[in-house]
Structure formats: C-alpha cells, structure tokens
Amino acid sequence: MTHTTDSSTIIEKTIQHDEYSTKYLQSGVGPTIVLLHGSGPGVSGRANWAATMTSKLAQHFTLIAPDIVGYGGTQQQPSIDFTHANRVEHVASFLDALDLAPARLVGNSMGGGIALGIAAHYPELVEQMVLMGSAGVTFPVSREVDQLYGYTPSEENMRGIFELMAYDKSHVTPELVKARYEATLAPGVAEQWSNLFPAPRQRHIDDASLPFTTLEKIATPTLLIHGVADRVVPVTATSLKLVEVLPNADLVVLGRCGHWAQVERAEAFRSEVARFFSAQG
C-alpha cells in the first residue's frame, strides 16, 4: 500500500524476524534514518511520522518508521510481554534484520527511551540519535501521564489526550481526534492498550529509565529536542538531566511547543534533524 504526496511516497512493508512480524513504513532517498514513535492510544509509525516522512526531509534521507511491538500492525508471539526491555529487543532485532546498523535513530518520547536502551546495551547498532521529548530517566508519574495511560475509548477522552500534548490547541482538530479515536476502536486495540501500562504506573516510567551510571557511558552523538511547555514529559524532568550526564549530547529547547515537536514546530524539528545528521555524516 502506498500514500503519495508531492514530496515523497510512503511504502508499507512487513518483515519477519526472530519472534516478530514487523510492519514498517519507508520513504525518501539517501542515508537512512529510523523513526521510533512514542506511546499513546492508537499510536503507530504512521500516526507519529506520516507528515515527517512526506516532508522535505525525505528528499535527503531514507526514512523508516516501524510499528514498535505492542502498537500498530506489528505482530509478535503471545509469549512476548509488553515491557520496555522487550521493546528495546524488538527494535534492535529490526535494525539487524534490515541490516541498518549502525543506525541513525530519532526517538519520540517512548521511542527516545528505546533509542537510549539500544545505545546502552547494543552500542554497535547506533551511530547517532535524536531524542525528542524523550523518556530515559525516571520522574514521578504526573496527572498528565496517568490520564494518557488510563485512556478509555471516547472522542472526548482522545481530545483530552491531544490537548495534553499540544501547546497550541489549534493543532487539535476534530478530524485528527476522530481519526485517532477510531483507530482505538479496531479489534483488540483498546484491550491491548489497557494491558500495556496497567496500574501502578510509576513502575513503567522506572522500567523505561536508565541509571546515571549507565547513561554516562553512552558515547553516541546525541541531539536532544524538547518543547519548553511539555506537560507530559517536562524538559526539567528528562532532557535537562540527560544533557548533563550523556557525554556527547546537546539540547535544543523549542519555544511555543508541548510534547508534540514534530507537529507544533515541524519545520524547526526537521531542520534540526537534518542539520545534526548531515554534520555528523
């Protein structure tokens, strides 16, 4: 299946590897960047990254966006638990299967925590990484995180989730809310979401975090991007700590931006990604 725009074509693919059947999207030309989506009800590689994959970035890079295990169209063996460690293993296996290592990774929120996990445990798989509104260090579960993890299907609840993400609420359109809400009505999606982050929820934040003694050994060149008004993963909770402990990291803080940099500050986000990977390359 393809989705054509003026700037690129998104191609849907599936690859069998280890215990997974991973659905992923591909667009663009040039050096490869792997886009790792965040968490949320109805989230997938397409939901997080379709606009990025059809932007000018695709004129300079090949963009690949997998559905991470537990999300979207990726299938896994029933014996696989939906833990952060298994998400790290899934993406590491995916990189190996497509022979992408050492890879350029862009991780959004949960995807950032996964990228950090791969860089910590499989450093040979990662060349550079961009972490956007990233998980990776523990912080107390907030009302916003609890609302996100506790989502039950309704358009009102989905609108509430998006309004947590956005600084500028004009980005939360009725069409967007309806489309993502309807994605959570697909067979098994709501049940699977409820199984991903059951209460007590602090443990899920902790499980996706690395101790500073591990983080300080990650030598991978890293760019941190964070919205100054992020209420879901506040910049003070993660990125300001990560930029201090990661030995080869810089931080860009975007004004007028919440937990949705690739949407609210799309041009700035894409420009920073292109600049970073072009300079590193």
Length of the chain: 281
In a domain? residue 219? yes
In a domain? residue 83? yes
- What is the per-residue pLDDT for 103? 98
pLDDT grade for 76, boundaries at 50, 70 and 90: confident
In a domain? residue 34? yes
Task: Kindly give the residue spans of alpha helices, DSSP state H, lying in the chain.
Answer: 45-53, 84-97, 110-121, 143-149, 155-165, 174-183, 189-196, 202-207, 212-215, 239-245, 261-264, 266-280
In a domain? residue 187? no
pTM over 0.85: yes
Mean pLDDT, rounded, for 95-121: 98
- What is the per-residue pLDDT for 8? 66
In a domain? residue 165? no
For 80-89, how does the pLDDT look when each residue is reduced to its tens digit (9 = 90+)? 788 999 999 9
**Considering only 2-16, 57-71, 80-94, 147-161, which range has the smallest mean pLDDT?**
2-16
What is the set of active-site residues?
109, 230, 259
Tokens standing for 174? 């009725």
Q: What is the CATH number of the domain that holds 270?
A: 3.40.50.1820
- What is the per-residue pLDDT for 165? 96
Q: What is the mean pLDDT of the chain?
A: 94
pLDDT grade for 279, boundaries at 50, 70 and 90: confident
In a domain? residue 150? no
In a domain? residue 270? yes
Give 247-250's long-range contacts (Cβ < 8 A, gap of 24+). Answer: 247/216, 247/218, 247/219, 248/218, 248/219, 248/220, 248/221, 248/222, 249/221, 249/222, 249/223, 249/224, 250/222, 250/223, 250/224
* Res 4 pLDDT > 70: no
Residue 125 Cα distances to 57, 92, 102, 129, angstroms? 23, 7, 4, 11
* Res 3 pLDDT > 90: no
In the chain, the percentage of residues whose pLDDT exceeds 90 is 88
Domain containing 77 equals: 2-138+209-280
- What is the per-residue pLDDT for 5? 42
* Res 108 pLDDT > 90: yes
Number of domains in the chain: 1
How far from each other are the two terminal CA atoms of the chain, in whole angstroms? 32
In a domain? residue 202? no
Q: Name the 3-class secondary structure at 104.
A: strand
- What is the per-residue pLDDT for 281? 59
